[in-house]
Structure 1
């Protein structure tokens, strides 16, 4: 498939609280577009505040996809996302609208952009359960040493203390017999039907982003985060949903082990750490055009200025055609 026949997709990435939703909505308004989320937490029902899911007011009537559709008890894999996002993009384009992918889950974005092909290997749950039983009582270093023997390349890329990723790498190797490098090459064997242009939002001064995060957390508390977390407290959740920043930090408050002030500060700290991890991920990715919020001169409308720059970049990349 040549580039002229591929579906053009605008992509907006960046850390939490950088303004991705506002920019995506403005670009969709300008370009007759629809927004496809790339956020691994906003897929879940029942967590609109803690996951900063866009409100109806923030959406401004723009159609959004892959938001709040999954029960908290259900798991959702990267392969599920690639399948669903690709289907959403094709449906948006079929309506004559411009697809805009926006979110901060780097693995979702990378897997879609690279058209990673994931296979549902038979027996994966059995292998996973077997590895979990085997790993009980073993140190992180012992488990990592086994990965070093079976897939040295994966072991180099995964920190020994990231136990979950180490076990997942062992699971993948034992299911497929392929190393990480071999699996990556195999998964990219089919060309993508899409043509992407990526824009990243960030702040040159990290303190600016952290202030935005603190302000967002304070606003979330005003909007009812405490009640949302209380409803989640004790509810069976899938592993991903249980890690929602803003809820798990409040659980010790509900059990009487910390104060509300301390729990709120923990939410801010956790969100800042998450934003730092997002930036580390995206700065390793190639082909992202970065726009910086603190480059916008005082007195200029932030979203309008960023949208002007974003549109110019997408147009220069040949994404917009006659739009």
Structure 2
């Protein structure tokens, strides 16, 4: 018999955290973070990490499990999340994945099979040297030629994933898109994926406001702490909310420019998140506004109760 799992997805700042906690409260659930950055200890403000007050009595998993200098992969996420799903089900509770990192959540729910070989560091250093000498454009153009689907999903600034997509092709002769398409489409779980959507201008207002709240809460000091530890090139510091301040610290532009870029990058990321979930997963979408949030949430509770009753 398949294990049950619920996922709450959608763009940043749409309200996933509050819905996830309410679902866990009502359906005897535990939350698994589906955010690839909330794994890092100390990176709290920039990742909009759930607070202890928000958690209440609800157990949360996949938060604060790495230090900021450590790396983390989709395959590692998949393995850990699937262990949590099995354990939570075994204890008679409902696992609820809450987050916006589409590839990670898709990998866990679709049970992707990742190759055993580890990353080729020599290959990575070779491509990094090319980027340093010629810029990312030439390398990114090669990815566009080889695998246009992945190129559309991977921003050129995400150098690590650009290199990984090229490495897979050069080592296997198969593009990342071809590999993903060959994976089994049937999930190993009884799954309901709940997506929260919001009218774009309203969502963008919320994102801009969230950035202001993060700044007031001490975001710059949080980023500076990790910057001062020499983690400029760490995987964790490539995240939105952190990378925008590094050039500011180094005098390349002023504070207002850093904030402007953070807001812009957050809005663009939200757009990419929505596109990913819409195209890659079978999502039950619910459109919300602040005024109708409670009404929409009640509809979600009713729908989920009906689904769980029939599993």
Q: TM-score with structure 2 length normalisation?
A: 0.87
Contact kept? 1:141, 1:161, Cα under 8 Å: no
- Give the unaligned 5+ runs of structure 1: none
Aligned pairs (5 A) from 1:200-279: 200-204=195-199, 206-237=200-231, 239-279=234-274
Task: Identify the match of residue 313 of structure 1 among 296, 303, 311.
Answer: 303
In structure 2, relative to structure 1, the CA distance for the partners of 1:216 and 1:94 (3 Å cut) is same
SS of equivalent residue, structure 2 residue 191: strand
1:156 to partner: Cα distance: 5.1
SS of equivalent residue, structure 1 residue 250: helix
In structure 2, relative to structure 1, the CA distance for the partners of 1:141 and 1:290 (3 Å cut) is same
Q: Distance in 2 between matches of 1:14 and 1:265?
A: 23
Superposed CA RMSD in Å reads 2.8
In structure 2, relative to structure 1, the CA distance for the partners of 1:251 and 1:122 (3 Å cut) is closer
Aligned pairs (5 A) from 1:192-207: 192-204=187-199, 206-207=200-201
Q: Distance in 2 between matches of 1:311 and 1:34?
A: 16
Structure 2 equivalent of residue 158 of structure 1: 151
SS of equivalent residue, structure 2 residue 57: coil
Structure 2 equivalent of residue 51 of structure 1: 47
Task: Identify the match of residue 58 of structure 2 among 54, 62, 76.
Answer: 62
Q: Distance in 2 between matches of 1:155 and 1:257?
A: 32
SS of equivalent residue, structure 2 residue 64: coil
SS of equivalent residue, structure 1 residue 9: strand
Structure 2 equivalent of residue 293 of structure 1: 288
Contact kept? 1:23, 1:306, Cα under 8 Å: no
In structure 2, relative to structure 1, the CA distance for the partners of 1:212 and 1:175 (3 Å cut) is same
Aligned pairs (5 A) from 1:105-184: 105-121=101-117, 124-133=120-129, 137-138=133-134, 142-143=138-139, 152=146, 154-155=147-148, 157-159=150-152, 162=156, 164=159, 165-184=161-180
Q: Distance in 2 between matches of 1:148 and 1:255?
A: 32
**1:87-129 superposed Cα distances (whole Å, 9 cap, x missing partner):** 1111111111100011000101111121101123156333333
- Are residue 188 (structure 1) and residue 184 (structure 2) matched? yes
In structure 2, relative to structure 1, the CA distance for the partners of 1:161 and 1:262 (3 Å cut) is closer
**1:59-111 superposed Cα distances (whole Å, 9 cap, x missing partner):** 12211110121111111010011101101111111111100011000101111
Aligned pairs (5 A) from 1:1-16: 5-16=1-12
Q: Distance in 1 between matches of 2:282 and 2:82?
A: 20
Give the number of the structure whose alpha-carbon radius of gyration is greater: 1
